[in-house]
Amino acid sequence: MNPIIRIRDLRKAFSGRPVLEGVDLDVPEGAICAVVGQSGTGKSVLFKCIMGIMKPDAGRVWYREYELTAMEHDALIDLRKHFGYSFQNAALFDSMTVEENIAFPLREALGLKNRKQIKKQVDEMLEWIGLPEIGRYTVDELSGGMRKRVGVARSLVMKPDVLFFDEPTTGLDPVLSETIDNLVVRVNGELGVSCILITHDIPAAFRIADKIAFLDGGRIVAEGSAKEVAASDNELVRNFLRISFSELPV
């Protein structure tokens, strides 16, 4: 598969403290790619640098043939319409209903004004995530799992090519976590969206991802399929797998 995102020698430091120290990574188009690693290793910083929310100190990032790190602000904002972002805590607006939350990017980012067209797209997304009756619900009426799914629906309503998932199962019980993992698989398989996720859930990453990348010391220290990463001789990767699995995946 051709890469939809390419990253070369990406570097970022804060107050002289290096966080990313030369990240190289290809994200295959049409795949699920999981970036895993210890807390504080720069996974969220990597996401922000890819999307152009944060400017790297050095290195280059491409989306298809477009070099994001070389773009002017307005061009980058326009290109980011091809990206969706599913926040760790869903980041829904408490003052809005579910329907208004999902409609927000259609109105604000795409400038849609036709109420019937907007409602049709919102209803389609609610149907797709399996929650067709909750459009009038307020955010505080939603369970944790429902919030996550509505957050995914809001990120999908603009029909992105790439969807970034920030710790999609944090705070959920094992049953709901599996539901969200399966939703990621559906987003990828049914809608053809390339998915990139950062997660602490190593078994889930090995179960659903086509490609896994371990981030440590500001660099990718192991990458590939679950089988290829399981064969890594990197000590950190081996320790992660030893703790996460009773028997190594093959």
The domain that holds 29 is classified in CATH as 3.40.50.300
* Whether the predicted model's global pTM rises above the 0.75 cut: yes
> What range does the domain containing 77 cover?
3-91+161-244
170: confidence class by pLDDT, cuts 50, 70, 90: confident
Q: In this predicted structure, what is the pLDDT of residue 249?
A: 59
Beta bridge pairs of residue 91: none
Q: In this predicted structure, what is the pLDDT of residue 239?
A: 86
Instruction: For residue range 32-56, list pLDDT tens digits in order.
Output: 999 998 877 889 899 999 988 899 9
Mean pLDDT along residues 81-103: 89
Is residue 149 assigned to a domain? no
Q: In this predicted structure, what is the pLDDT of residue 193?
A: 96
Positions of E strands within the chain: 3-14, 17-28, 32-36, 58-63, 66-67, 83-86, 162-166, 194-198, 211-216, 219-224
In the chain, how many domains are there? 1
Tell me the average pLDDT of the chain: 90
Instruction: For residue range 14-23, list pLDDT tens digits in order.
Output: 998 999 999 9
- Crossing angle (nearest 10°) for helices 144-156 and 174-191: 10
Q: Which two tokens stand for residue 175?
A: 């049953």
Q: What is the largest CA-CA distance in the chain?
A: 56
Q: In this predicted structure, what is the pLDDT of residue 215?
A: 92
86: confidence class by pLDDT, cuts 50, 70, 90: confident
Identify which of 100, 99, 107 has the alpha carbon closest to the alpha carbon of residue 126.
99
Q: In this predicted structure, what is the pLDDT of residue 112?
A: 83
Mean pLDDT along residues 223-238: 91
176: confidence class by pLDDT, cuts 50, 70, 90: confident
Is residue 105 assigned to a domain? no
Is residue 229 assigned to a domain? yes
CA gap 218, 13 in Å, rounded = 10
Is residue 15 assigned to a domain? yes
**Any residues with CB less than 8 A from the CB of 193 and at least 6 apart, and which?**
84, 156, 160, 161, 162, 163, 187
Is residue 148 assigned to a domain? no
Is residue 143 assigned to a domain? no
Mark 159-190 as b/e (b = at least 16 C-beta within 10 Å).
Answer: ebbbbbbbbbbeebeeebbebbbebbeebbee
User: 153 or 172: which carries more pLDDT confidence?
Assistant: 153
Identify which of 161, 198, 118 has the alpha carbon closest to the alpha carbon of residue 3.
161
89: confidence class by pLDDT, cuts 50, 70, 90: confident
pLDDT at 247 over 70: no
